Amino acid sequence: MSNTHIYKNSLKSKIVVGVDVGGTNIHLGLINPRGTIIARTHLVTKSCSCNKKELIRGIVERIKILLSENKYPLQSVAGIGIGLPGLIDPRKGLVKFLPNIPGWKDVPLKKILQEKTRLKTFLENDVNLITLGEWCFGAGAGVQNMICMTLGTGVGGGFILDGHLYRGEGFAAGEIGHIPINEEGPRCNCGGYGCLERTVGNRYLLQKISQIFKKKMSLEDVYLLAQKGNRKALRFWEETATHIGNGLTGVVNILNPPRIVIGGGVANAHTFLFKTIEKTIRKRAMRVQGKMFRIVKARLGNDAGLIGARVLVLEELKARA
Amino acid sequence: MSNTHIYKNSLKSKIVVGVDVGGTNIHLGLINPRGTIIARTHLVTKSCSCNKKELIRGIVERIKILLSENKYPLQSVAGIGIGLPGLIDPRKGLVKFLPNIPGWKDVPLKKILQEKTRLKTFLENDVNLITLGEWCFGAGAGVQNMICMTLGTGVGGGFILDGHLYRGEGFAAGEIGHIPINEEGPRCNCGGYGCLERTVGNRYLLQKISQIFKKKMSLEDVYLLAQKGNRKALRFWEETATHIGNGLTGVVNILNPPRIVIGGGVANAHTFLFKTIEKTIRKRAMRVQGKMFRIVKARLGNDAGLIGARVLVLEELKARA
């Protein structure tokens, strides 16, 4: 047996099947050792009426087709990494609860997929997968500590601490959107008060926009207005960035990260956001922490979760080896 | 060579020299494998006029006396663990900066102490040492994730995450006192605004007390008043606890710890603090995170740092083995 042959069969050289489950679509892809998605397909979540069995059958079918069409036998696959939008127990391989896909409660998805595909399978929360993807193949490459923040309807987060994904005792860590920025702030959906998400989550930004401009407008509209120099629009983005910076100041003070990666829809307005976020944190954070962080736009876009699936599978197999 | 002999010489069975440097006193002790301080001495920090060389000479002398008086030869000592109130670089063995002891900037204390004592030496921030002590021999025993909070003039913190002390990229992590609880809050000494410490640090609590009671009183006075059922005093503690709970809600949401250990002077009023802190967090934190944490009073008191020195030395030697 030649060395080349051994290399070809080594874990690192194998491909990974990534699955990114969202409320609307399920994206699937094959990810090579360079973190490139070499083949992809998708499934409309509601095509299965969110029916659990149908959804799982659909995912298994798509995985098999992806592998056979691209001529990857099972032994060339390191495993499956699957991200889901909710509370996941990666140790037990359970989907505990998905807030936006009904009927998923304590589903042993790891076991089910392993039996049906004969591939090692690892589950993870979707934002944690994005965090892993950006860390190894995106804007966080090379650091041991990183905060990943996703700005959208929800404001999510994931933490790489001392070179590992930090999940928390109940696998619920990372909820940057639910750091209170005002003790006396308005009630948040989560039950708390004055949470960051309650101010900079998309829904609240849109409410604020319709108050400012006296009509319904999209975030993109206000972005374009700001580009044209519209004062109200510029001020809207400055205020939004200041709130985000205030929320992140606490994270920076307690976790002392060198890098903060920001992604998600709202991050597309980065020209109007990032400088003010950075300025706010530098002004408000403690000396050491405030000096050493850097804010970077996420690089992998919608592919971050699929690419993160590769990182998850390799990290988990390495930890078990 | 008998097994007993090997055991006696194994790392775990050796003693550790602990040194806890404070602005007023320097405490030194010998800590046995059970985390018990079997001999102790101290040194008045200002007796050396905080002169760096004098201080180091004093520490080295006391270490030598402690060991010889108690008949511990060098080979029975695993090492020295030393905690200092400021920014420490444990990797390089540098005291970067001590805010309350002048003249300490980038001092290679590890190297100096190793040369003078011929014992392996490890430096750490003082609150991190307390955290390690409480984790292994105090109120955090048995958990893999723990938040330690010290309430006093400063409001400090230390984190055990996934079974390790988390230090942050610049060794400045854990600053729970500088989580902003109000974006628009008053300026804090750290340069930030609305920090938790700016509301519940001793100095600000005493200011508030003199406003409420129209005279100067100590925290203990107000504690005794509350015990007698004084309404103003009870309300003072309730408000203090609510602010602490609001600050900790962010920590609970992002780090999802099972245990929060609270120590320091103010924590002595725990009868009036802990229930309200807990109630506040349970009301405001997210479902999963809010269910699983428990607040516990620190158990080791002023000995936590010395006892933590043992944990530090053993953990560091284990990591290097």
Q: Is B44 exposed, middle or buried (0-12, 13-18, 19+ CB in 10 A)?
A: exposed
Residue contact A192–B253, C-beta within 8 A: yes
Using CA atoms, how far residue A295 sits from A159, A292, A307, B5, B142, in Å, is 14, 10, 21, 56, 36
CA distance A319 to chain B (A): 14
Q: In what order do the strands lie in the sheet with B164-166?
A: B164-166, B155-161, B146-151, B259-263, B294-297
Please determine, for residue A260, whether its predicted confidence score (pLDDT) is greater than 50: yes
Residue B128 confidence (pLDDT): 98
Residue contact A254–B179, C-beta within 8 A: yes
Please determine, for residue B49, whether its predicted confidence score (pLDDT) is greater than 70: no
B73 touches chain A (CB under 8 A): no
Using CA atoms, how far residue B271 sits from A82, A129, B19, B227, in Å, is 46, 43, 31, 9
A90 touches chain B (CB under 8 A): no
Q: Around Cβ B300, how many Cβ atoms within 10 Å? A: 20
Residue contact B286–A172, C-beta within 8 A: yes
Touching A: B residues 13-42, CB under 8 Å: none
pLDDT in tens, B92-104: 999 999 988 888 9
Please determine, for residue A190, whether its predicted confidence score (pLDDT) is greater than 80: yes
CA distance A74 to chain B (A): 33
Residue B102 confidence (pLDDT): 84
User: What is the pairing mode between strands A15-21 and A77-84?
Assistant: parallel
Q: Which domains does chain A have, with CATH numbers?
A: 3-131+303-320 (3.30.420.40), 142-298 (3.30.420.40)
Residue contact A166–B169, C-beta within 8 A: no
B76 touches chain A (CB under 8 A): no
pLDDT in tens, A38-68: 999 999 987 766 688 999 999 999 999 999 9
The answer to whether B28 and B17 have CB atoms below 8 angstroms apart is yes
Touching B: A residues 215-244, CB under 8 Å: 243
CA quadruple A53, A59, A60, A66: dihedral, nearest 10 = 160
Please choose, from the candidates A23, A18, A57, A24, the residue with its C-alpha nearest in 3D space to the C-alpha of residue A41. A18
CA distance A89 to A95: 6
pLDDT in tens, B218-228: 999 999 999 99
Residue of A nearest to B196 (CA): A250
Choose from A188, A255, A283, A287 for mutation: most chain B CBs within 10 A: A255
DSSP state of B53: H
CA distance B138 to B129: 12
pLDDT: which is higher, A160 or B319? A160
The three-state secondary structure class of A264 is: coil
B74 touches chain A (CB under 8 A): no
The answer to whether A199 and A177 have CB atoms below 8 angstroms apart is no
Please choose, from the candidates B13, B23, B103, the residue with its C-alpha nearest in 3D space to the C-alpha of residue B310. B13
ipTM: 0.94
User: What is the pairing mode between strands B155-161 and B146-151?
Assistant: antiparallel
pLDDT in tens, B111-138: 999 999 999 999 999 999 999 999 999 9
Residue contact B161–A157, C-beta within 8 A: no
CA distance A303 to A301: 5
Q: How many CB pairs under 8 A join A and B?
A: 157
Residue B265 confidence (pLDDT): 81
Question: pTM value?
Answer: 0.94
CA distance A178 to chain B (A): 6
**What is the pLDDT confidence band of residue B8, given thresholds at 50, 70 and 90?**
very low
CA distance B58 to chain A (A): 30
Tell me which chain A residues have a C-beta less than 8 angstroms from the C-beta of B285.
178, 191-192
Touching B: A residues 249-268, CB under 8 Å: 249-251, 253-258
Helix axes A231-255, A270-284, angle to 10 degrees: 50
DSSP state of A201: S
Residue B50 confidence (pLDDT): 63
